[in-house]
Amino acid sequence: MNHNGSIDLAKELIDQAVICGADAIKFQSFKAENMVVKNAPKAEYQKTSVSDNISQFDLISALELKKEDLIFLNNYCKDKIEFICSVFDEASALLLHELDINIIKIPSGEITNFPLLQYLGSLNTKLILSTGMSTMQEIKDALDVLTISGAQKSNISILHCTSEYPAPFDEVNLSAIKSIKNEFDLNVGYSDHTCGTEIPIAAVALGAKIIEKHFTLDREMIGPDHKASADPNELKTMVNAIRNVEQAIGNGIKRPTKSEINNIVVVRKSIVAAKNIKKDDLFSEKNLTTKRPAGGISPMMWSKLIGKKATKSYVMDEFIEF
């Protein structure tokens, strides 16, 4: 929504998202008249960022993208970045399907919208289901509607989300990412509404495969979402950190890495003579010790050496041999 109804601003957001290294940019497709009744109240976060004289209907209407806008933005993204849309009504879903949009997002507020879920399921396209404000049972119910209507389960991803703008840290509950994964065995991600970048980065470490972050050119701009959004510097920092975390997650197998192998000989120890030892002396705690480097007998063989007779003479710090 941070394009504020301006296609020029939307283009600049796309360009900046590309520079920041994002994989995709998501807009919203809706008809205000199909989305909200004209006397609907604004959310609390909307009241703090938008004039009291503007109704939710007027606010939504000003941010509505026309069919030609969506076509233009989709084409503008070609060969630059993946173009994704959230959808709030069947007419908009049909438009996105006709435009061959590869991925459609179901916003958190639509998780109980049976007619929309049923229609989206029938399109048999890739779907991202956001789960703010929902219970595990509501997620299951929505998935049931989608799959019974024709959606392939493997084409559905789920986003854990806290639908507050900005979201308080103590209400984020990142552990739910693992719970959702265990419950539904689907691709799970995280839609972030916190201030800063540390929470989505942590989400990746906990297994999130998709990160959604609200994005603006300037948090001081007028509009409902700007203050809970990342600016270009923050987005670039977040993307770079996520790429590092993705590399660091690894395969879970605990073993020495390629770079560690080179260090083993340097930092591990061997059993060496603590002082000069004569042939036929008995090895003991008094004449043996452990020192770097590795390459001699491992200190794990200590108990097998103690009490044994030296088969040769040793000078202090010399590797002991069996």
In the prediction, which pLDDT does 35 show?
Answer: 87
Cβ-proximal residues to 141 (8 Å cutoff; 6+ apart), any chain: 112
Residue 79: phi and psi, rounded to 5, are 65, 10
pLDDT value for 223? 80
Contact predicate 320/314, CB 8 Å: yes
The pair of three-digit structure tokens given for residue 215, joined into one six-digit string: 């994005």
Amino acid at 46: Q
Q: Would you state the pLDDT for residue 220?
A: 86
Output the six-digit token pair for 75: 């084409």
The full set of domains in the chain, from first to last, is 7-249 (3.20.20.70), 258-305 (no CATH)
Q: Give the pLDDT confidence of 128-155 residue by residue, as tens digits.
A: 999 999 999 999 999 999 999 999 999 9
Phi/psi at 22 (nearest 5 deg)? -70, 150
Query: Could you read off the pLDDT of 55-73 as tens digits, one per residue?
Result: 888 888 888 999 999 999 9
Rounded Cα distance between 158 and 181, Å, is 9
Identify the burial level of 290 via C-beta atoms within 10 angstroms of its C-beta, where 0-12 means exposed, 13-18 middle and 19 or more buried: middle
User: Which amino acid, 193?
Assistant: H
In a 13 Å sphere around the CA of 177, the CA atoms on its Cβ side amount to: 24
Per-residue burial over 153-172, b if 16 or more Cβ lie within 10 Å, else e, is eebbbbbbbbbbbbbeeeeb
- Low-confidence stretches of the chain (pLDDT < 70) are 42, 44-53
The pLDDT of residue 39 is 79
- If one counts every other C-beta atom within 10 angstroms of the C-beta of residue 75, the result is 11
Whether the Cβ atoms of residue 101 and residue 84 lie closer than 8 Å to each other? yes
DSSP track, 86-154: EE-SHHHHHHHHHTT-SEEEE-GGGTT-HHHHHHHHHHT-EEEEE-TT--HHHHHHHHHHHHHTT--GG
Rg value, the chain, Cα: 30
